[in-house]
Structure 1
């Protein structure tokens, strides 16, 4: 199987030569350690050496200072930031003092067509190579952005006490992502295989808000985002860190193909528990603990756990660290151990 075939078979719970695997998204500070460990110059070379199956493609969004689609909204009040380019969910936001839905247009909402580079999107997907599973990293975190719009505590209070303005702001955010994503999908049409959306709902021990509130306020927008991706024939990986067990079935019902990242040490999110409750009902990605095992464990510890996970999920699970970001505290030898073990399971 090539990478794309293995990815598609894994998420279909179909037989595979070995499970698909994904490194995730190494943060810039982790890259020098990874390239040095493998004696290579670029992360492209590292991916090739490890035989990684997924090629992530970041949306080329050019809006200073962050130049990232996940930081498209300048909601934070400047006098509450340590640095002018900080993005925070908890600092007081633009809508903190507004309570009338008619005020929603007082914010200078960005037009994604001005900042999303369609030609660069085409170049990036073409550079990925034909046999990879090419995945657009969309994020489209409309819930998290709503927290930035008000400040998180204010956002959650407003959701309950003044839902009209909360929903008005949330709709503007969702509409932005629907437009941005359409531009990206049209630019990469027929060349992309999957997309990743993400909105963190979980803490280490449970959901940050009642699941019925997520279903009432957040998931309608999520459904629109997923349905839009599906019209382009794309598989959907849905990301939320933390303990999200009570809403996993909802995520599949919304049309997502893959739940990511199975934060292994979060309550109810162990691979054993997920396998017992959801095996065959959908696909997953993650499961290899990036909070302790990948940081403090030895390569032999990592190999042991990867083998245990594959025994539980011979297909239906993309083996990956239980966080999308590979941080500098993960020894590159443990990344190597993860991929070597997966590769050694080839039939």
Structure 2
């Protein structure tokens, strides 16, 4: 599939998803799960409204949990963390901030909570922009290793 949301919500109504997209999505998920494979859905934007459907249909993991679209990893973990692996939710804007404490706060508050009980995989909430230097990215990964190792 493709992106199902944008910053303020879904690209279409839940009814449209149920009628037009969900039958195919369900078939794909069931096929791959039947092969013993996990199924990861990449969808940018705010897709919170569809998560119960994703879980019901057997999705394994949702990614990238776009912060700018209101996909709060802490709330998602509280609401769905026992039913769905979550991947992402680390704001790329924090990576690009010249103050290293900004990304440290982002990671130190989110990852320890999200990893509780398992079911969290580190990932940025979007493509890492060119404004993130190699040193900033390296620092981010060092923080992930510090706060995120199970």
TM-score by length of 1: 0.40
Label 1:239 to 1:297 Cα distance change in 2 as closer, same or farther (>3 A): farther
Label 1:344 to 1:296 Cα distance change in 2 as closer, same or farther (>3 A): closer
User: SS in structure 2 opposite 1:234?
Assistant: coil
Task: Give 1:218's aligned residue.
Answer: 21
Task: Give 2:33's aligned residue.
Answer: 230
How big is the shift at 1:300? 2.6
The aligned length equals 147
| Equivalent-residue separation in structure 1 for 2:143 and 2:106 (angstroms) | 10
User: SS in structure 2 opposite 1:284?
Assistant: strand
Pick from 92, 95, 102: which aligns with 1:294?
Answer: 95
| 1:286 and 1:318 in contact (8 A); partners too | yes
Question: What value does the CA root-mean-square deviation take over the aligned residues?
Answer: 1.7
User: SS in structure 2 opposite 1:265?
Assistant: helix
Label 1:297 to 1:242 Cα distance change in 2 as closer, same or farther (>3 A): farther
| 1:261 and 1:286 in contact (8 A); partners too | yes
Q: Which runs of 5+ in 1 are unaligned?
A: 1-140, 142-198
Pick from 317, 322, 333: which aligns with 2:125?
Answer: 322
Q: What are the equivalent positions in structure 2 for 1:164-313 lying under 5 Å apart? A: 199-267=2-70, 269-290=71-92, 292-313=93-114
How big is the shift at 1:297? 5.0
Q: What are the equivalent positions in structure 2 for 1:2-13 lying under 5 Å apart? A: none
| Equivalent-residue separation in structure 1 for 2:81 and 2:43 (angstroms) | 19
| Equivalent-residue separation in structure 2 for 1:331 and 1:209 (angstroms) | 36
| 2:8 and 2:69 in contact (8 A); partners too | yes
| Equivalent-residue separation in structure 2 for 1:252 and 1:233 (angstroms) | 17
TM-score by length of 2: 0.87
| 1:237 and 1:257 in contact (8 A); partners too | yes
| Equivalent-residue separation in structure 1 for 2:17 and 2:105 (angstroms) | 37
Q: Which has the higher contact order (CA 8 A, sep 6+)?
A: 1
Please list the CA deviations of residues 148-201 of structure 1 after superposition, one character each: whole Å capped at 9, or x if unmatched.
xxxxxxxxxxxxxxxxxxxxxxxxxxxxxxxxxxxxxxxxxxxxxxxxxxx111
- Which of these two proteins has the greater Rg computed from alpha carbons? 1
| Equivalent-residue separation in structure 2 for 1:332 and 1:303 (angstroms) | 16
User: SS in structure 1 opposite 2:69?
Assistant: coil
User: SS in structure 2 opposite 1:200?
Assistant: coil
| Equivalent-residue separation in structure 2 for 1:249 and 1:217 (angstroms) | 17
How big is the shift at 1:246? 0.4
User: SS in structure 1 opposite 2:53?
Assistant: helix
| 1:298 and 1:334 in contact (8 A); partners too | no
